[in-house]
Amino acid sequence: MLSPTAGLLPNAVYRREFFDSVMAEGPASILDVGCGDGAFLKAASARGCRVHGVDTDEARITKLQSEDLSAKLARAEELPFENASFDVVTFSYTTHHLAELPRALAEAVRVARRAVLILDGWYDTAVPSQRVAEAFDLWSKAIDRRLGMVHNPLPSAAELVALVSGRPGIAATNYAYRLILAPWPISEVRNAAEEQSVALGGFDAETEAALARILDEAARVGISRDGALMLRIGKTL
């Protein structure tokens, strides 16, 4: 019998596993920070949870509201909710998009009753193809920042834990790294870089040279899709 995750790209597997870990908390209410297209909200609502989402994309929030989902335009750093308003607060691939991560985590801890759960990307740099992937990730994010986006390097578990360590009300933190080592076709990497070139209006010589080095290394040792970090910040009841 095939696994329910058979045939899925690693990112989809990680999202499903993260969702299952959130559901294992038995939450009656969830706040999803950076809710995007609302996929997490819809799945959790189907499980009987009271769900609410926040995002800074007004068009997405308007669409979710038109679908009768509870969603609000708000920044992670200024959550418009009372203390302990939700059993669980979640971040799915959101933390590296936050301008003020320490403040956002403090806000999440404040409005959570039981736990804050985080899913984000990760690279196992002991693996050559993962080192190449991380190099491209950092190169690509530097382009995005030049385009005005908030797109920071992926936070490590140690960095996230350090931001909440010693805060009142924190019971325990635990985390796991997960990697399905799947090749990333170089043609897709080239296409992604080309899209950024178009958006930026072309690359300068230094940026082009850095990309060429990454692609040369990818041709030599390969490039693989990112792994995942899953972190739980527990609170005292």
| 9-58 per-position pLDDT tens digit | 999 999 999 999 999 999 999 999 999 999 999 999 999 999 999 999 99
Task: State the pLDDT at residue 8.
Answer: 84
Ranges of beta strands (E only) in 79-144 are: 86-92, 112-122
Domain ranges of the chain: 10-123+149-180+227-235
Which secondary-structure segment (H or E) carries 7?
none
Give the pLDDT confidence of 96-109 residue by residue, as tens digits.
999 999 999 999 99
> pLDDT: is 139 or 2 the higher one?
139
Percentage of the chain modeled with pLDDT above 90: 92
Structure confidence at residue 4 (pLDDT): 55
What's the burial of 56, exposed, middle or buried (CB within 10 Å: 0-12/13-18/19+)?
middle
Q: What distance lies between CA 227 and its chain's CA centroid?
A: 11
The closest of 235, 234, 231, 76 to 158, measured between CA atoms, is: 231
Tens digits of residue pLDDT in 200-223: 999 999 999 999 999 999 999 999
78 token code pair: 């200024």
CA–CA separation, 184 vs 119, rounded Å?
21
At 152-203, the pLDDT tens digits run 999 999 999 999 988 888 888 899 999 999 999 999 999 999 999 999 999 9
Q: At what angle do helices 101-111 and 157-164 cross, to 10 degrees?
A: 60
Alpha carbon distance 160, 22 (integer Å): 18
Q: Do the beta carbons of residue 154 and residue 122 sit within 8 Å?
A: yes
Going by their DSSP bridges, the two strands 227-235 and 170-178 should be labelled as: antiparallel
- Answer yes or no: is pLDDT of 1 > 50: no
Both structure tokens of 126: 């002991």
pTM for the full predicted model: 0.94
How far, in Å, are 14, 89, 164, 202 from residue 107 at the CA level?
A: 25, 10, 11, 39
Amino acid 6: pLDDT: 60
Asked if the model's pLDDT at residue 2 lies above 60, the reply is: no
**10-123+149-180+227-235 belongs to CATH 3.20.20.10:** no
Mean pLDDT of 107-134: 97
Closest CA to 172 of 115, 211, 104: 115
Which pLDDT value is given to residue 5? 59
